[in-house]
Amino acid sequence: MTSGEFGTADDRGSGPAQSGSSGPATPGDGTRAVRAGLPEPLKYEPTLPGPVFAAHFHLPGEPTGPYTYGRDENPTWTLLERAIGELEAPGQESVETLSFPSGMAAISAVLFSQLRAGDIVVLPEDGYQVLPLVREQLTAFGVEVRTAPTAGDAQLEVLEGAKLLWIETPSNPGLDVCDLRRLVAAAHAQGTLVAVDNTLATPLGQRPLELGADFSVASGTKMLTGHGDILLGYVTGRDAALMAPVRRWRKVVGAIPGPMEAWLAHRSLATLQLRADRQTATARTVAEVLRDRPEVTGLRYPGLPDDPSYKIASQQMRRFGCVVSFTLPSRERAERFLDALRLVDDATSFGGVRSTAERRGRWGGDAVPEGFIRLSVGAEDPEDLVADILRALETSAA
Ligand SMILES: Cc1ncc(COP(=O)(O)O)c(C=O)c1O
């Protein structure tokens, strides 16, 4: 059996949106993750073929694919792209996925291949901190960039006449959530395309294409691969005509993943459900512990029932992710807290099996208080992590 035989839109899993869905005949997220993208079993061949290192392929006669030159296609990408497509859009054979060497390469490929001078694009005001640089570049190319905050579907107010709506939900690092179905309906009603940055949720946490988006775009550097050792990105789309310019952009710019990274990513997908379930459950535990601390303000976790994001998140997300954000009273207190942690590395990025945390204000790009901490919960034992965090909170008070 190949993994392509798996998957319907209402498949099982462990997140909130699956309750009451189909019976045991439909494989769950763990089953789909371990089999995603695997080729037909061939005697004496490995289950997941190793990385193919090739700048060119034997190509006598007419130069037709699938494999001609290493910048255009590679068999290791093919398997990874198939796997991601199966997770992003189960049962939808027609989706196409393109892999990229980083999340930013994937984001830029969509924006710069779809937009022309004179077009209007709506970007999040509170999204990933490189987006302001992207905004500058788009503006320099003659694209009109409008921004809106993620919370409260504020994008609706600036949507008129836009060619593309770019959504990041949950937003990084503020963890606001917007209503994807509602925004897609409004955008499509006026012919606006919708792309969703699915980095924080992962395809096991949220399926933007099923919610109506035209593109699901992500950094695979985070939870998708989960070990903090590779950079990767991807774009999944359902419409071949919209994906063709993205593919052409990849070729023109030469923004291609290395076969080793692509293979490592594919191997890592097998544990995605295990990691996502563990990290999501512990993130909620950590958030509940932080909620009771007097020095913590502005706590955000979309999976907490009293979080402002919870209502919409539980309608469109299947897992709430591993990122918790909160604010300590001052920059100094936050720095002492980070310094006192023993099981949480003071590092940027998120989604890895080793917990990380950082004071986001140190980068200067996010509109956050000086004591704002973004904590990415890893796969450590929850009781060890909670003890470490509580101890660091106590130590940093002095
Ligand atoms: C939400 C989000 N999108 C995109 C990116 C960019 O991904 P990469 O670092 O793989 O280029 C990041 C990186 O932190 C991110 O947090």
CATH code of residue 319: 3.90.1150.10
Residue 128 CA, ligand 1 centroid: distance in Å: 7
Compute, in degrees rounded to 10, the torsion defined by CA atoms 130, 136, 138, 141. -150
Residue 242 CA, ligand 1 centroid: distance in Å: 22
Residues 55 and 160 reside in one and the same domain: yes
Residue 340 belongs to some domain of the structure: yes
Strands 323-327 and 215-219: unpaired
Residues 331 and 244 reside in one and the same domain: no
Residue 304 belongs to some domain of the structure: yes
How many CB atoms neighbour CB 83 within 10 A?
26
Residue 7 belongs to some domain of the structure: no
Q: Edge to edge, what strands does the sheet with 144-148 contain?
A: 96-100, 233-237, 215-219, 193-197, 164-168, 120-124, 144-148
Residues 231 and 135 reside in one and the same domain: yes
Task: Establish whether residue 201 lines the binding site of ligand 1, counting it when its CB lies within 6 angstroms of any ligand atom.
Answer: no
Q: What is the pLDDT of residue 11?
A: 42
Residue 90 belongs to some domain of the structure: yes
DSSP string, 42-81: -TTS-SSPPP---SB----SS--SSSSBTTT--HHHHHHH
Are the C-beta atoms of residues 36 and 3 closer than 8 Å to each other? yes
Residues 219 and 187 reside in one and the same domain: yes
Going from the C-alpha of 349 to that of each of 128, 138, 200, 220, the distances in angstroms are 11, 25, 11, 11
**Last residue in a domain, options 222, 247, 269:** 269
Residues 291 and 253 reside in one and the same domain: no
Residues 331 and 390 reside in one and the same domain: yes
Task: Establish whether residue 371 lines the binding site of ligand 1, counting it when its CB lies within 6 angstroms of any ligand atom.
Answer: no
Task: Establish whether residue 168 lines the binding site of ligand 1, counting it when its CB lies within 6 angstroms of any ligand atom.
Answer: yes
Q: What is the pLDDT of residue 365?
A: 82
Sequence-separated (6 or more) residues with CB below 8 Å from residue 257: 77, 99, 100, 101, 232, 233, 265
CATH code at position 228? 3.40.640.10
Residues 177 and 64 reside in one and the same domain: yes
Residue 91: DSSP 8-state: T
| Surface-to-core class of residue 116, CB atoms within 10 Å of its CB (0-12 exposed, 13-18 middle, 19+ buried) | exposed
From the CA of 127, give the closest atom in ligand 1: 1
DSSP string, 328-345: -SSHHHHHHHHHH-SSSE
**Cα(67)–Cα(57) distance, integer angstroms:** 6
Helix (H/G/I), strand (E/B), else coil: 97: strand
Residue 77 belongs to some domain of the structure: yes
Residues 125 and 207 reside in one and the same domain: yes
Query: Could you tell me the pTM of the whole model?
Result: 0.94
Q: What is the pLDDT along the chain (398 residues), one digit of tens a residue?
A: 444 444 333 444 444 444 344 455 679 999 999 999 999 999 999 999 999 999 999 999 999 989 999 999 999 999 999 999 999 999 998 999 999 999 999 999 999 999 999 999 999 999 999 999 999 999 999 999 999 999 999 999 999 999 999 999 999 999 999 999 999 999 999 999 999 999 999 999 999 999 999 999 999 999 999 999 999 999 999 999 999 999 999 999 999 999 999 999 999 999 999 999 999 999 999 999 999 999 999 999 999 999 999 999 999 999 999 999 999 999 999 999 999 999 999 999 999 999 999 999 999 988 999 999 999 999 999 999 999 999 999 999 97
Residues 243 and 104 reside in one and the same domain: yes
Residues 164 and 218 reside in one and the same domain: yes
Residue 5 belongs to some domain of the structure: no
**Last residue in a domain, options 254, 269, 284:** 269
99, 102, 104, 322: residue to mutate for ligand 1 pocket, most atoms within 8 A of CB: 104
DSSP string, 116-169: -TT-EEEEETTS-TTHHHHHHHHHHTT-EEEEE-SGGGGGGGG-TT-SEEEEES
Task: Establish whether residue 110 lines the binding site of ligand 1, counting it when its CB lies within 6 angstroms of any ligand atom.
Answer: no
Domain range enclosing 288: 272-396
Task: Establish whether residue 103 lines the binding site of ligand 1, counting it when its CB lies within 6 angstroms of any ligand atom.
Answer: yes
Task: Establish whether residue 114 lines the binding site of ligand 1, counting it when its CB lies within 6 angstroms of any ligand atom.
Answer: no
Give the sign of the dihedral formed by CA 55, CA 247, CA 165, CA 145.
positive
Residues 347 and 200 reside in one and the same domain: no
Residues 133 and 264 reside in one and the same domain: yes
Q: What is the pLDDT of residue 24?
A: 54
Helix (H/G/I), strand (E/B), else coil: 173: coil
Residue 78 belongs to some domain of the structure: yes
Look at the chain and report how many structural domains it folds into.
2
222, 230, 232, 360: residue to mutate for ligand 1 pocket, most atoms within 8 A of CB: 222
Helix (H/G/I), strand (E/B), else coil: 324: strand
Q: What is the pLDDT of residue 280?
A: 98
Residue 75 belongs to some domain of the structure: yes
The token pair at 259 is 């076969």
Residue 220 CA, ligand 1 centroid: distance in Å: 8
Of the CA atoms within 13 Å of residue 169, those in its CB half-sphere come to 34
**Last residue in a domain, options 247, 269, 291:** 269
